[in-house]
Amino acid sequence: MKNKQFRLILTPKYDAKTNMAIDSILASSFKENDNAILRFYTWEKSFTLGMSQKFENYKDLEKEYNYNCAKRITGGGVLFHGHDISYSLVMPSSWFKDLSVKQSYEQICQFLLYFYKDLGLDTHFAKDLEQINLSKSDFCQVGFEAYDIIVNNKKIGGNAQKRSKKIIFQHGSIPLEQTIQSDKFGSSLKDFNINLTFKELEEKLIKAFEKTFDAQLILSLLNDDEKVKLNNLLN
């Protein structure tokens, strides 16, 4: 991933269906010789499910969130939004041809470790801490996967990956603040006395990505083809 060009796409606050539709379009439209994509975005109050989960199992949540919900194109559990900033990455799989899934995940997440450490936080992968018991849950912030990021012994955010012969797609969430006190929401930066605006958070994440991968980020918008596909998907 070092010394590569990325399209940097900064989208405004959207509902869950639009955000997940954009992720889907960026992943499905990607061609082998395209520049890789880094997208940052925020959400209306909403929630997403992993691709294998069923909305029928979360009818009470749907009503509570006024049906502002969608499925991700990756796996994992229920993830709540509106208090977080998310990133999406679309990259050619050829960049990682000599790496296992776990190795690629560890490499990609280095910019998040840099980001948290730059804020003065003690950061590790869950797999590297003896006191963390790896476990799965229907709610993303409750379980502990090997490459979940642990800050001061507490899980923060979540990340997931989808692979094909052509691309590696990864997205994740960084919670800025906590609107509801519940373990289903996990920890946020404010829990560690880090007070940032969404814009400041975005700027620090961009800096962390550039520094970690010596990346050249080229500010971009959805192109005409992507806009047409997005419109067709949403209508």
- Two structure tokens written together for 154: 């507490």
Dihedral angle of Cα 210, 114, 42, 163, to the nearest 10 degrees = 80
Mean per-residue pLDDT over the chain, rounded: 92
Is the pLDDT at 24 greater than 70? The verdict is yes
Q: Give the mean pLDDT of 172-184.
A: 79
For domain 5-234, the CATH superfamily is Bira Bifunctional Protein; Domain 2 (3.30.930.10)
Select from 32, 53, 160, 168 the least CA-distant residue to 100. 168
Q: Give the mean pLDDT of 61-86.
A: 95
pLDDT, tens digit, 9 for 90 and up, residues 123-136: 999 889 888 888 88
Is the pLDDT at 142 greater than 70? The verdict is yes
Q: Give the mean pLDDT of 112-128.
A: 92
Amino acid at 130: E
Higher pLDDT, 229 or 145: 229
- Entry pTM: 0.94
Proportion of the chain above pLDDT 70, given as a percent:
98
- Band (210; pLDDT cuts 50, 70, 90): very high
Dihedral angle of Cα 203, 230, 46, 41, to the nearest 10 degrees = 0
pLDDT of residue 180: 66
pLDDT of residue 181: 62
Q: Give the mean pLDDT of 156-176.
A: 92
pLDDT of residue 56: 95
Is the pLDDT at 179 greater than 70? The verdict is no
